[in-house]
Amino acid sequence: MASSRTRLIRLLDKGFYPVELPPPFKTRNFSNVKDSLRPPNNYFGSTTFFDGATFRGPLRTFGVINPASYLLLSRFIAEHWSDISGVFDLSRCSGTRPTFPPLGAEGRAIETASLASKRKSQRHLASVYPVILGLDINRFYGSIYTHSVPWSVLGKQEAKKRHRNRTLQGHWSDTLDKLVRNCNQQQTVGIPIGPDTSRIISELILSRIDAELTSVGSGLASPQIYHNIDDYQIGCMALGESENAQSRFVRTISRYELRLNDFKTSVDHGLSFAPSNFQRHFDCLDQQRDRNFVEHFFEILYAQVPLHPNTNVLGYAIKRFARNLARNKERGLVREYLQRLVFAVPHQARWILPLLLGIYRAEGLNAEVRRIIGWGIETCVRRNDVGSLLWFLYAAIFLDMRLAGALCNLCIGMSNELVDLVLYHGRSAGLFSFNLSEMRSRYRSNDFGSSAWLPIYEVGRRGWDASPSFSKFGTADDPNDLYQHLSNHGVEFYITDQDHFEVSAFDGWRLAQAYFESEEYDSEFQGDMELNVRYLGHGQWDNYE
């Protein structure tokens, strides 16, 4: 088992940001202050929220927690992991139980089951029950009631009893509840999607729900339930039994202030409930090369995506065959197909741009590329898709592409802190043009405890704007000089090094710019399925399913 020190270092260095963000959004040296940064125990800050599209297209809200609050929460989780994992033991139904790998392991701070193991569990359930009931909790992370943390640890009745008797205070679960609330201005409803700490908190609640679902006399048993976070599958012997199971599920989650997502409820049985093995359709590509490979790959991709609307076929396929596409001699054809995908599904930019950026850097910037990136920026602004917008802005900096004031002003109109930070980065590089007055006005009255902490910290630390709006270290806007301490110890929350603007920066893709510039075929890169499936299983926040 990993030590408390290992757990804390991994949470600070690998679990802070949502995985959906571009490569510069990483922490550096955060774990260096794991012992020296000491916010008051009652410290609370604001979470920075942003909307980003899922692979299906609809927006969901992600969050970046104030670092002082995140440190307090992470430190507590690291120190109380044996208690927390003990609650996880209540459940034998979860396919995504968080664990901490060794300190030097790749990937996120925590590990969960791989994509392959999830598929295996789902296939087994469908093989031993004739009816599979599919259930989903509505707005799960956004609906979590933080006071349900003690309920999950102690049981709801016991926790309420202790609360009435004033004996709950001091129990570790009550402290955890407080620290979770303090991550977002002490609000009691909702935890942010993205940080690994949220995944741990959510598993606490789901573990208690699983225990109650399968308690004696419930009519349900652990072997007939499998869930991937809040996506449940329950095996039943008859349709009538599935109705009882759904009723039991609804009653159980309602005790924890959660509700069923009726639109995702399904009952599958018979021949219409076919196994999902879309990956097999791509196996035939392993021995193909050049133009045949490219045309066949995209033919399969376009055919499979609409057949599996609840699975990120596009993300899986492009990442699995990324090196094949990068090394293919028909690079112009690859570029054309990828550009068509950008226009068709701009919300999938994080899966398409890694390859396109390698091609663009090899071929050089031209009017066609400028038009595509500009179109992507305008489209994401119009759709309020901040997550994808950040990828297109990242692409502009990656390619040393200038953005005119009109396009930058559209981005400023989003009023989002992460977007503003990237705009300042582009301006400091001489690429983006915009008037500073609106930005300075926006941040003048904000402090480090607000949702504006990230641009205030990084713009101020880097000297991108020396105005009072961004010169707040060690002032009244920096209580206890916490952010001065972070800055003094070289802590970074946005990395501008050149290696974060190379194709090698895309985690798990195993790309190098040389692949896009070589004209020689190399069989090493053909159909490396085993490795790629492992990489695809790394991030529990990746929307593969």
- And the tokens for 114? 């791989």
CA-atom Rg of the chain in angstroms: 24
In whole angstroms, give the CA distance from residue 267 to residue 377: 40
- Strand pairing class (231-236; 59-64): unpaired
In whole angstroms, give the CA distance from residue 267 to residue 6: 43
In whole angstroms, give the CA distance from residue 542 to residue 545: 8
pLDDT tops 60 at residue 538? no
pLDDT tops 50 at residue 407? yes
- Cβ atoms of 421 and 414 closer than 8 Å: no
Could you tell me the pLDDT band of residue 126, with boundaries at 50, 70 and 90?
confident
pLDDT tops 90 at residue 514? yes
Supply the pLDDT for residue 527.
45
- Cβ atoms of 64 and 434 closer than 8 Å: no
Could you tell me the pLDDT band of residue 185, with boundaries at 50, 70 and 90?
confident
- List the one residue out of 44, 11, 297 whose CA is nearest residue 3: 11
- Cβ atoms of 40 and 178 closer than 8 Å: no
Supply the pLDDT for residue 534.
43
Average pLDDT over residues 105-119: 80
- Distances in Å between the alpha carbon of 513 and those of 278, 336, 447, 517? 30, 19, 41, 7
**pLDDT tens sequence across 233-280:** 999 999 999 999 999 999 999 999 999 999 999 999 877 777 778 889
Supply the pLDDT for residue 189.
94
User: Which distant-in-sequence residues (6+ apart) come within 8 Å of 532 by Cβ?
Assistant: 319, 320, 321
* 232: three-class secondary structure by DSSP: strand
Domain boundaries, the chain: 80-273, 278-364+502-535
- And the tokens for 448? 């480090």
**Lowest mean pLDDT: which of 54-58, 173-177, 337-341, 438-442?**
54-58
φ, ψ of residue 85 to 5 degrees: the values are -65, -25
| pTM of the predicted protein model | 0.93
